[in-house]
């Protein structure tokens, strides 16, 4: 049976090793102020190239540097908005091609569809930006329809600001409420939310513990 042991534990892939190294570096240096701006640069690139999600950076940094939580939220919201602006700026050069393509595919309805996207694009972009990860597809679609990069940038900033502010609120206020919920009985959806909240708080504690462990080992 010993000759089968190497096949039972597959070696980690390149992306798994990369993620582990980034996670280790983030936890080891996450309490340093310069790390905020360094990771914000990666978040700008995440706006048009799929990289590590900025939400992971915001979560770890807000846990390790709670006194700078508001700064972290604003910096990463600006980084996401800048990434969206650069993507929209690049896609905006293809607007004329998009208009001609829409006329070929949809005929006379093409201009009407593009006009609808231009009217509702900025508002809906806030909705798409509230969710984790960068709304690259929506940014590209609205930029091709003629929505200005400035409008897309502003709406992405508002959406990401809402997302990161909510994340900061949970980090600061959820631990005390989880303690009050212990032993309480309620409907299924209440218990489901309590379990998710407990896991979130446990994950934040794990971030602090691992960061302390890594720094003690150096």
The more confident residue out of 100 and 24 is 24
Residue owning tokens 């049976």: 1
On the question of pLDDT at 119 being above 50, the answer is yes
On the question of pLDDT at 9 being above 50, the answer is no
Tell whether the torsion through CA atoms of 9, 15, 19 and 25 is positive or negative.
positive
The more confident residue out of 193 and 217 is 193
Distance (Å, rounded) from C-alpha 140 to C-alpha 1? 54
Say if CB 172 and CB 69 are below 8 A apart.
Answer: yes
Distance (Å, rounded) from C-alpha 31 to C-alpha 35? 8
Q: Which of the four pLDDT bands, split at 50, 70 and 90, describes residue 7?
A: very low
- Give the model's pLDDT for residue 5: 46
Mean pLDDT computed over 30-53 = 82
Distance (Å, rounded) from C-alpha 59 to C-alpha 161? 13
Three-state secondary-structure class, residue 148: coil
Structural domain spans, the chain: 2-167
- Give the model's pLDDT for residue 95: 57
Q: Which of the four pLDDT bands, split at 50, 70 and 90, describes residue 218?
A: low
On the question of pLDDT at 18 being above 80, the answer is no
């Amino acid at each position: 049976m010993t000759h089968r042991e190497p096949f039972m534990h597959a070696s980690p892939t390149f992306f798994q090793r990369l993620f582990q190294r980034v996670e280790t570096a983030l936890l080891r240096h996450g309490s340093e102020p310069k790390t905020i701006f360094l990771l914000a640069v990666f978040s700008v690139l995440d706006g048009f190239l799929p990289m590590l999600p900025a939400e992971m950076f915001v979560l770890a940094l807000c846990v390790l540097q709670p006194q700078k939580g508001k700064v972290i939220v604003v910096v990463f919201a600006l980084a996401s908005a800048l990434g969206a602006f650069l993507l929209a700026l690049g896609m905006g050069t293809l607007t004329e091609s998009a208009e001609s393509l829409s006329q070929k595919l949809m005929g006379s309805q093409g201009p009407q569809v593009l006009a609808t996207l231009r009217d509702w694009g900025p508002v809906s972009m806030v909705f798409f930006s509230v969710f984790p990860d960068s709304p690259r597809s929506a940014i590209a679609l609205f930029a091709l329809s003629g929505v200005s990069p400035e409008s897309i940038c502003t709406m992405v900033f508002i959406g990401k600001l809402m997302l990161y502010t909510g994340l900061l609120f949970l980090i600061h206020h959820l631990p005390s409420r989880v303690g009050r919920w212990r032993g309480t009985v309620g409907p299924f959806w209440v218990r489901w939310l309590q379990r998710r909240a407990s896991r979130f708080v446990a994950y934040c504690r794990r971030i602090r513990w691992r960061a302390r462990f890594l720094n003690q080992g150096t």
